Each structure stands twice: as structure tokens, then as C-alpha cells.
A and B are shown apart, each in its own frame.
Chain A
Amino acid sequence: MFDFLVQRAAISVVTLFVISMIVFTGVRMIPGDPARVMAGSEADEAGLEEVRQKYGLGDPIAFQYLRWLGLAVRFDLGESIRTRESVVKIVASKLPITIELAFLSLLVAVGIAIPAGVLAAVRRNTVWDVLTSGASLGGVSIPNFWLGIMLILFFSVRLGWLPASGFVPLWESPLANLQRMLMPAFVLGTALAAVLMRQTRNSMIEVMSADYIRTAYSKGLAGRVVVFRHAIRNSLIPVVTILGLQMGALMSGAVVTEQIFVVPGFGRLIVEAVFTRDYPLVQGVVLITASSYVLINLLVDVSYSLLDPRIRVRGAASDA
């Protein structure tokens, strides 16, 4: 298993390098002179030249890339052009927010999807199955931003039950924080739940028809024990895979959901940064987002080996 993990880690590092290169060049392809953005609209040629010198914008791109990389590994991602704050500081202030939202969405998703998926699998072709399938399809098809707007309209404006938006840090007031995170987590969570539900149901069904389950039944074990002790654990692998992939999406901070609920997480940050041509910020945030995605997938691989001892020995076929 150790070899397997080392191999996965090495691959992850290579991936990270490729990502950093893509980000770096990608940002420079956005039209607009970065020197102009940094110097301001009132600057003249001399002012622009100064900025170019200061940030080394005139150097060959490979040079600029290496310099940036060198600083990045030392956790110095530069300063935001707009507010002169350190990119790392901005990210550090937003990261806990996005993590919390992702975590809550995950809770909602798992809380809905797994019981529903198991139920649908165990009670196949009954009304439960149809209901969950329907809900799952609906959840996948409904546009996020529409759902969010409708929720605000209903729960905040019409009923006044929940605050419309904003963010209160968890340590300041857990209750206020949760009040405000409930709707966005719900919106994100239901979208995720929809996907997870299908997967849980399908893999549960597949597992349930496996020989070792039939053996368990014929041994006389109660249905519930079979389901909970044997079936679920083994059906979780594909579910975990999807979770890993989706967590990446969550970490990018569902852009529009954050916009609508005014959650100051990564999604909003990056859209604003792109719109205001804040290059250092864009580079830094995308790099961190992509890196966290790679990291999460690495963790998913690790969890594979924990869930399925066969993989531990054989090595995951995750490249296939």
C-alpha cells in the first residue's frame, strides 16, 4: 500500500506543476495590459515602465513563471492589485468559509442521499424507489441559481424565517452563522445529494445481488444487519469516488450560489478577481483551489484502501 500511495503522491505533484503552468499562462492570455491595471488609468508611459520593472513584467515568461513558482512554494503568492493585501491573507480569510460551506453541504447531501439511496435500493420498484429517483433527477436538473433565488424569496422575504444573506463567523456566533449558511448549504447539498442518491442506489443494488450477501441472508442474518454491516460499506466505494470529485467542485465555492447568498467564499472571490483583472489574486486562488482538488483526490485514494482491502493489496485501478 505504501508504494501505491507514494506513486499517487508523485503523480499529484506532477499534476500540480502542470496546473501552475496552465494558471500562469492562462492568466496572461486575458486581454488587457497588466501593467496598466496595476498602474492605474492616470499613469503615463514612464509610470507604466516603472510598474513593469517593479513586477518584472518585461522578462521572458519562463523567467516570470519560475520566479512566481519560487515564491509560491514559500507561501508568498504576491499581493492583490486592488487592495494591496497579501493574497495568502485573503485566501486564509476565505478558506474557512468555503470549507464550512462545503462541509455543511456535504452533511446535507450525505444526510439525504445515503438513506434515500439505500431505501430505494432495498425497496426497489416500490413507490419509495420512484420517489427518490424522481427527487434525484429533479435535483440534478434544477438550476442552482433559480432554486437559491426562490428560497430567498420564500423563506427570507415572504416568511422572514431566515436571514437573506451574509456571513457571521462561526466563533462569533454559531447560531447566526448556521442560520445564514442553511439555505446555501441546502442548495448546494441537494444538487450533490441528487448525484449521490443515484450512485448509492445503483451500487447498493449491485452489491445486494452479490454472492456474499446471499450467503449472509442464507446464514439467517436479519435484513437490517445484512444491509448495514455488509452491504453499505462495500457499496460506498463508487460513492466515495464521486464525493471526491464533487468536493472539488464544492471547494471552488459554487460561484453563483455564493453570489446569491452573499457568502464571501472562493467562488465570489475568483469571479471578482477575474472581472477586475486582479492577476495575482486569480493565480493564487485558482492554484489553491486546484491543489485542494488534487489533495482531496489523493485522500479519496487513501480511503479506497481503507474501505476495500483488495485495493490495499492490488493497488487501485483508479487510473483506468
Chain B
Amino acid sequence: MRSITRWLWLVVGALVVLSLADVAHAQKKTLVVALFQDPDLLDPTLARTYVGRIVFSQICEKLYEIDENLRIHPQLALDMPAITDGGRVVTIKLRPGVKFNDGTPMDAESVKFSLDRHRTLKGSNRASELAPVEAVEVVDPRTVRLRLKAPFSPLLAQLTDRAGMPVSPTAVNKLGDKFGTAPVCVGPWQFVERVAQDRIVVEKSAHYFDPGQAKFDKIVFRIIPDDNVRLANLRSGDIDVMHMVSPTDATGIKREGRFELSNVTGLGYDGITINLRNKTGKLNPPGDLGTPLANDPRVREALELSIDREALNQVAWDGLYTPGCTPIPPISVFFDKSRKCPGRDVARAKKLLADAGLAGGYGFELTVVNNPRSRRVGEVIQQMAREAGFNITLRSQEFASALTDADDGKLQAFQIGWSGRVDPDGNIHQIQTCKGSLNATLACDEKIDALLNRAREVSDEGQRRGLYREAIDLFTARRNIIYLYHQNYIVAFPKNLKGYKSVPDGLIRIKGTSWN
């Protein structure tokens, strides 16, 4: 019996030692950021994930950048571009003395190389973003010129994201399509290593042209998909910056008072995408789906009228997101301030269903992404619509396969959002035009196409605003997408982290931040 008691004390002792000892965590000089998802390829040309853009924010700067008010200013470019020939020629002067993080110089040749790679590499996900660009020329070692097929006002906005990120030709030539495993661009920090689904480590670059802005020697991105665990890590100090704070946690964190919260309305939208004519795949000809939901606009209107956007925001998001009914974010200059979102009207919804011959009720399947938050939104919608006579069956599916199914025309309705782009064209064109590459509903209206195409060509703000207003009127009446809200980006960090700026794209920018 005595040996057992001794044993027990040993175990207790070990536990005490373990819990007291702390790692000599180089905490002050290393910043730990928690992401909710593992990025895919860290190759600006091939990357597709939102979280990837957060990593890029530290290691891959771009020609132009946006600020908190969604205004565009030059970053790696020297100043705003010169636009000539009716908008068909865009000349960009580059900032001098800039080096890639492998020491090679960033000049017009390398920028041309990068832009061409984004445009033409097989499998490039930037190709459609730069589609209007016909050719890129080197004017002199510090100037590039883009020739466009037609005027394209969103071009500048495209260059504030991955399409505008120069990559080191030396590194590309060395690694080929494995560039994403060790990317080299221009940035205050440079890529060091990555452990799949665990962490991405970047460290201060010796080649950046403004080293004073990088106050941390190292940044470690930890991948923690679970909200709870992420929060627990924030509270215990194991991570410094928490990305994607859920609204319910945000309320709790604010009450605690230990952390600072940044809450900004994002650039994207969330809503219900309804399949109208996609029968066998979005690349195939459209077909008749034969359902009231797809064929009868009154049914879709009834669905929209059964939903109370304000209540949805309150119940699902603790009121911290932003209800909306268009794809343009409130912060954008193109946002239509005069538009009022329809309120809930169950009586009218019931009448519309009756008019459509569905007085006894109508059921359809709504696919939601397989995570607790999306499911909750789905359940709220399900409940609200039930009162108007809809019997919605929820089907939760993982993101990747749901997207594929949507493209294949297998879904009736899909509760999904779009992360959002700086220019409204990025939120609308490819999704609502007849031949748009992201148009999975195969809804098609020549009038909308004409309006949206014109909106990309003209550059006058007022004119564009008007065109978008008209187009939005049309496709919100068609309701192939019922826009419900704009997701807010909530980030939590310690109170002594100074200099954090909340940009509406929701990306975490460490440059310029430091400890108090």
C-alpha cells in the first residue's frame, strides 16, 4: 500500500511541475495569429481560400492597397495609374528600390512576368480576374503598361488583391508549380515553413524596403478550426490575435474587458442561392427543373417575404452582423443608401403561395454548409418560412462537395455567401451574367448583362452607381439569389496591441502594429 501512495505523490508532483513550468515563449517578439481554416496553396496565382489572403497580407504585397474606407492607394506602385485611350491603356509606375524576399529586384520585367503568370498559367484562378487584359508591356525598368481589350474600371480593384501580387521570377523558375510550397514575393515578412493543418511561420524580411513597419520578428499562424478552442487559446494567452470571432463569443469577450475587438462590415454577402435552370451542370445548356421554386417567381418572392432579416441577424448573430438585400457592401461608394430592404410579411407570402397553387404548403431542400453557424442560420430560415407555408428540409454538406454539387445543378437551394471584392463588379458580374463563370443558377437576362457590362466600362462613380442600381432592381426581382446579410469580421486581440486597422476586407494586417 505504501508504494502505491508514493506512486500517487509522484504523479501529482509531476503534474504540478508540468503546469507550473512555462515555455520560454518568445512572446513579445513573436506574434501568434489563429486562423479558422488551413489555407490551400500559398501561390497567389493558384490560391482560392480567404484565409490564404490573410497570410499573403504579411508576405506578398500588391501593386495597390485599400484602406479602412475602401479607398485605393498605391503600395508597390509609385502612384495611381495613368489611364489613357478611353480606358484601354493603363500605365503603372513602380516604386523604386523594392526587392523580393530572395533579394532579387522588383522591376518592370518581374511585374510583367507576374501579371503574365496570373493571366496565363494553366489552372490560374486569377485568369478571369484579369481577363480583359490583352497584353502587358515593359515601358522602362520602372514602368509597366497594360493593354486592355475594352475599358475595365474594376481593374484597379483587382490589383489590390492576389492578381496584383508580383512574385519573384527567380523563385518561380526554380520551383515551377511548387512555388506555393515556398512562395517568394515582396513583403515585410517572408515565408519560413508550413506544417499542414497546424501552422505557417513567417519571419521578418531582410529585404523589405520599409523595415520599420515590421515590429515583430516572427509571426506564427496557427490553424484552429474550432471556435471554442480558438477562444480558449486566446484567453489562456497561447494566441495573440483571434480571427473570426463568433458573435456570441464577441459579446462575452467584450464583457470580460481584457481584449480589444474589431468589428467591421465585410465586403461580401450571404444569402440563399436558388437554382433556376441548372439541370446538368453549369457548363451545359440550361434546362427546366420543373419545380415551383425554380419556375415561379411568386414562390421565391413568398420565400423572401417570410424572412425577417433583422430578427435573423439578432437570433443567429447576436445582432452583430449587418442585414442587407443587395450584394454591395454598405461601405462601398456604390452602395444604394436609398434602398429599403423588404420587411417580413407572412400574410402576403401566404397569398403568393396560394396564387401559385401551393396553398397547402410547399417543400424544398436547402443545402447548408456543415458548420454550427451555417446550420443555425438554416434553422432560423426554416422556422421563419414554415409560418408562411414552406416545409424546408435542411441538408448539411461539407463546403467543397456542396460547391461542386451546386455547379453540377444538383442543389435546389444553397445557403451560401461570397467573401466579397473591393469593386462591386467582383461581387456581381461573374455570378449574375448569363455566361458568368460563377453563375451556377444559370439565370439569364440580356438586360442585366448589358447593364453590368456597361458598369465595368465606364469609370464615373455616379454613372456606375446608377447602372448597378438598375441591375440590382432586376436581379433582386428575379431572386435567383435572395441576399440576406453581410458578414461582419470580428477580430480579437490584446489591449496592448496598438495600430490595428480594421479594413472591410476583414484581413489581418500586422504591418504597422506593435506592442504598447
Hey, which bits of chain A sit against chain B, CB under 8 A?
31-33, 36-37, 39-45, 47, 50, 80, 82-85, 90, 93-94, 111, 115, 149, 152-153, 156-157, 160-168, 173, 175-176, 178-179, 182, 259-262, 264, 268-269, 272, 275-277
Chain A residues near B240: list those with CB within 8 A.
Answer: none
Pick from A47, A164, A167: contact of B123, CB below 8 A: A47
Q: Mark B1-43, 1 if CB is under 8 A from A, else 0.
A: 0001001000100010011010111000000000000101100
Pick from B19, B197, B229, B407: contact of A162, CB below 8 A: B19
Contact yes or no, B18 A164, CB < 8 A: no
A269 and B196 contact, Cβ closer than 8 Å, known pairs A50-B122, A161-B19, A259-B226: yes
Contact yes or no, B229 A43, CB < 8 A: no
Contact yes or no, B232 A82, CB < 8 A: no
Alpha-carbon distance between A44 and B435 when the two chains are bound, in angstroms: 12
Contact yes or no, A272 B38, CB < 8 A: yes
Contact yes or no, B238 A166, CB < 8 A: yes
Contact yes or no, A82 B229, CB < 8 A: no
- B463 within 8 Å of A (CB atoms): no
Contact yes or no, B197 A264, CB < 8 A: yes
Q: A156-B236, A259-B225, A264-B195 are in contact. List 5 more A-B contacts (CB 8 A).
A: A80-B196, A85-B181, A115-B7, A175-B23, A182-B15
Chain B residues near A115: list those with CB within 8 A.
Answer: 4, 7
Alpha-carbon distance between A65 and B40 when the two chains are bound, in angstroms: 27
26 contacts between A and B (CB under 8 A): A31-B405, A36-B404, A42-B125, A42-B437, A43-B123, A47-B122, A50-B122, A84-B177, A84-B180, A84-B181, A85-B181, A93-B196, A115-B4, A156-B232, A160-B236, A162-B19, A165-B233, A178-B18, A262-B223, A264-B197, A272-B38, A272-B197, A275-B399, A275-B401, A277-B401, A277-B404
Report the nearest B residue to A51, measured CB to CB. Answer: B123
- B222 within 8 Å of A (CB atoms): yes
- Expressed in whole angstroms, the minimum distance between the Cβ of A127 and any Cβ of chain B is 14
Contact yes or no, B123 A264, CB < 8 A: no
- B67 within 8 Å of A (CB atoms): no
- B283 within 8 Å of A (CB atoms): yes
Chain B residues near A260: list those with CB within 8 A.
Answer: 226, 229
Top 7 nearest A-B pairs (CB, nearest first) are A164-B232, A264-B198, A176-B23, A161-B19, A275-B398, A164-B233, A276-B400
- Expressed in whole angstroms, the minimum distance between the Cβ of A56 and any Cβ of chain B is 18
Report the nearest B residue to A50, measured CB to CB. Answer: B122
- Expressed in whole angstroms, the minimum distance between the Cβ of B474 and any Cβ of chain A is 25
Alpha-carbon distance between A82 and B181 when the two chains are bound, in angstroms: 11
Interface residues of B in 118-176 (CB under 8 A from A): 122-123, 125, 127-128
Contact yes or no, A182 B18, CB < 8 A: yes
Contact yes or no, B229 A262, CB < 8 A: yes
Pick from B38, B125, B238, B283: contact of A40, CB below 8 A: B125
- B178 within 8 Å of A (CB atoms): yes
Contact yes or no, A152 B229, CB < 8 A: yes
Report the nearest A residue to B38, measured CB to CB. Answer: A272
Of B123, B198, B222, B238, which is in contact with the most chain A CB atoms at under 10 Å from its CB?
A: B198
Chain B residues near A164: list those with CB within 8 A.
Answer: 229, 232-233, 235-236, 238
- B224 within 8 Å of A (CB atoms): yes
Pick from A84, A156, A167, A269: contact of B178, CB below 8 A: A84
- Expressed in whole angstroms, the minimum distance between the Cβ of A229 and any Cβ of chain B is 16
- B48 within 8 Å of A (CB atoms): yes
Contact yes or no, B196 A83, CB < 8 A: yes
Contact yes or no, B196 A90, CB < 8 A: yes
Alpha-carbon distance between A128 and B475 when the two chains are bound, in angstroms: 73
A165 and B283 contact, Cβ closer than 8 Å, known pairs A179-B21, A272-B38: no
Report the nearest A residue to B233, measured CB to CB. Answer: A164
Report the nearest B residue to A33, measured CB to CB. Answer: B404
Contact yes or no, A85 B196, CB < 8 A: yes
Alpha-carbon distance between A190 and B11 when the two chains are bound, in angstroms: 15
Chain A residues near B48: list those with CB within 8 A.
Answer: 40
- B69 within 8 Å of A (CB atoms): no
Contact yes or no, B41 A165, CB < 8 A: no
Alpha-carbon distance between A50 and B123 when the two chains are bound, in angstroms: 10
Pick from B24, B223, B400: contact of A275, CB below 8 A: B400
- B403 within 8 Å of A (CB atoms): yes
- Expressed in whole angstroms, the minimum distance between the Cβ of A186 and any Cβ of chain B is 10
Contact yes or no, A152 B232, CB < 8 A: yes
- B228 within 8 Å of A (CB atoms): yes
Of A42, A152, A260, which is in contact with the most chain B CB atoms at under 10 Å from its CB?
A: A42
Contact yes or no, B229 A83, CB < 8 A: no
Contact yes or no, A165 B437, CB < 8 A: no
Contact yes or no, A269 B123, CB < 8 A: no
- Expressed in whole angstroms, the minimum distance between the Cβ of B120 and any Cβ of chain A is 13
Contact yes or no, A82 B283, CB < 8 A: no
Alpha-carbon distance between A263 and B462 when the two chains are bound, in angstroms: 53
A277 and B400 contact, Cβ closer than 8 Å, known pairs A93-B195, A272-B38: yes
Pick from B15, B223, B229, B404: contact of A37, CB below 8 A: B404
A157 and B235 contact, Cβ closer than 8 Å, known pairs A84-B180, A264-B198: yes
Contact yes or no, B180 A163, CB < 8 A: no
Alpha-carbon distance between A238 and B339 when the two chains are bound, in angstroms: 74
Report the nearest A residue to B222, measured CB to CB. Answer: A166
Contact yes or no, B23 A173, CB < 8 A: yes
Chain B residues near A90: list those with CB within 8 A.
Answer: 196
Q: Mark B170-214, 1 if CB is under 8 A from A, else 0.
A: 000000011011000000000000011110000000000000000
Contact yes or no, A167 B19, CB < 8 A: no
Alpha-carbon distance between A61 and B187 when the two chains are bound, in angstroms: 46
Chain B residues near A163: list those with CB within 8 A.
Answer: 233, 236, 238
Chain B residues near A161: list those with CB within 8 A.
Answer: 19
- Expressed in whole angstroms, the minimum distance between the Cβ of A46 and any Cβ of chain B is 10
Contact yes or no, A166 B18, CB < 8 A: no
Chain B residues near A152: list those with CB within 8 A.
Answer: 228-229, 232
Contact yes or no, A261 B195, CB < 8 A: no
A268 and B197 contact, Cβ closer than 8 Å, known pairs A40-B125, A47-B123, A156-B236: yes
Contact yes or no, B180 A83, CB < 8 A: yes
Alpha-carbon distance between A33 and B410 when the two chains are bound, in angstroms: 13
- Expressed in whole angstroms, the minimum distance between the Cβ of A115 and any Cβ of chain B is 7
Contact yes or no, B41 A83, CB < 8 A: yes
Alpha-carbon distance between A161 and B437 when the two chains are bound, in angstroms: 52
Chain A residues near B283: list those with CB within 8 A.
Answer: 44-45
Contact yes or no, A157 B236, CB < 8 A: yes
Pick from A39, A157, A182: contact of B232, CB below 8 A: A157
Alpha-carbon distance between A37 and B488 when the two chains are bound, in angstroms: 29
Contact yes or no, A165 B23, CB < 8 A: no
Chain B residues near A47: list those with CB within 8 A.
Answer: 122-123
- Expressed in whole angstroms, the minimum distance between the Cβ of A300 and any Cβ of chain B is 27
Report the nearest A residue to B234, measured CB to CB. Answer: A164
